[in-house]
């Protein structure tokens, strides 16, 4: 039976040996909701493979200042055909590859922030050879100087699992207009078993999109290959 692990790295922010300065090319803005009266943007949802360079309205996806609901819908509509698996991007979704510069000594896995995971391409190749099912990976457009690496790719981690409602101390409400939920990360993470994907071994949660989860197959291979830059903590499944 599958086990699930939270994927994180305590060392990422303390590290001053690796320096990464990156920006995302495009995005969907945050929303000013007239129904729940909250201005917000999601954190963690990113589709680096989505290329907006051919859209006539490409420039408007560089402006990320929060917009009213109807304007959000206008900007979201042209994206629906471009996203994988019929996904509907929430406000604040990051789009396109990372662009920037890097220097220093990097681990096998590299974090931009606690919800954005990159890796050296040959590292992912080794994992694929040990039968780990990885999601699509996209080259980050990073220029390296005085670095131990020349290239990084970003894992396109789709929101797949759903945390069990019972994991949250209070009832979770969702706005019918903008889709915002008021859940905060609970002490004990509990994931609904029926939502664990079978086609991929690393993904993020749909309710808590900053939470990256991996199967025991992923964790065992990373440990066996002694890859650096990741830590794991087992979570509950219900």
Give which of 1, 11, 42 is closest to 181, Cα–Cα: 42
Q: How far is the CB of 177 from Zn ion (least distance, A)?
A: 5
Give which of 76, 69, 88 is closest to 31, Cα–Cα: 69
Q: How far is the CB of 237 from Zn ion (least distance, A)?
A: 31
Ramachandran class of 85: left when φ > 0, alpha when ψ lies in -120 to 50, beta otherwise:
left
Dihedral, CA of residue 110, residue 223, residue 234 and residue 6, to nearest 10: 10
Select 33 or 149, whichever has its Cβ closest to Zn ion: 33
Q: How far is the CB of 44 from Zn ion (least distance, A)?
A: 19
Give which of 1, 45, 55 is closest to 24, Cα–Cα: 45
Select 175 or 190, whichever has its Cβ closest to Zn ion: 175
Q: How far is the CB of 36 from Zn ion (least distance, A)?
A: 3
Give which of 133, 120, 116 is closest to 204, Cα–Cα: 116
Spatial strand order of the sheet with 39-40 comes to 39-40, 31-32, 67-68
Select 33 or 163, whichever has its Cβ closest to Zn ion: 33
**In what helix (H) or strand (E) does residue 235 lie, and over which residues does it extend?**
strand 231-237
Select 66 or 121, whichever has its Cβ closest to Zn ion: 66
Q: Report the interface residues with Zn ion, using CB under 5 A.
A: 33, 35-36, 175, 177-178
Task: Yes or no: say if 48 and 138 are a contact pair by the CB < 8 Å rule.
Answer: yes
Q: How far is the CB of 83 from Zn ion (least distance, A)?
A: 21
Q: How close are the terminal C-alpha atoms of the chain, in Å?
A: 12
Task: Yes or no: say if 181 and 227 are a contact pair by the CB < 8 Å rule.
Answer: no
Q: How far is the CB of 192 from Zn ion (least distance, A)?
A: 24
Select 32 or 204, whichever has its Cβ closest to Zn ion: 32
Instruction: Say what angle helices 216-224 and 121-129 make with each other, to 10 degrees.
Output: 110
Q: How far is the CB of 200 from Zn ion (least distance, A)?
A: 30
Select 34 or 223, whichever has its Cβ closest to Zn ion: 34
Select 176 or 233, whichever has its Cβ closest to Zn ion: 176
Q: Beta partners for 104?
A: 18, 147
């Amino acid at each position: 039976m599958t086990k699930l692990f939270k994927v994180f790295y305590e060392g990422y922010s303390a590290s001053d040996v690796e320096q990464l300065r990156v920006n995302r090319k495009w995005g969907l803005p945050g929303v000013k909701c007239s129904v729940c009266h909250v201005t917000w943007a999601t954190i963690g949802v990113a589709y680096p493979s989505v290329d907006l360079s051919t859209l006539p309205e490409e420039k408007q996806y560089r402006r990320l200042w929060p917009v009213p609901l109807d304007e959000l819908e206008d900007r979201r509509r042209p994206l629906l055909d471009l996203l994988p698996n019929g996904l509907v991007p929430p406000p604040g979704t990051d789009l396109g590859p990372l662009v920037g510069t890097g220097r220093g000594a990097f681990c096998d896995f590299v974090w931009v922030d606690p919800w954005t995971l990159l890796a050296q391409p040959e590292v992912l190749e080794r994992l694929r050879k040990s039968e780990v099912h990885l999601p699509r990976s996209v080259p980050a457009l990073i220029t390296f100087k005085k670095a131990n690496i020349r290239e990084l790719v970003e894992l396109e981690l789709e929101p797949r699992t759903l945390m069990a409602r019972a994991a949250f101390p209070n009832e979770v409400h969702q706005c019918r207009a903008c889709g915002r939920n008021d859940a905060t990360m609970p002490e004990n993470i509990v994931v609904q078993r029926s939502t664990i994907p079978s086609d991929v071994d690393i993904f993020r949660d749909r309710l808590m999109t900053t939470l990256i989860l991996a199967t025991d197959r992923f964790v065992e291979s990373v440990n066996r290959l002694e890859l650096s830059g990741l830590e794991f903590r087992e979570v509950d499944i219900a």
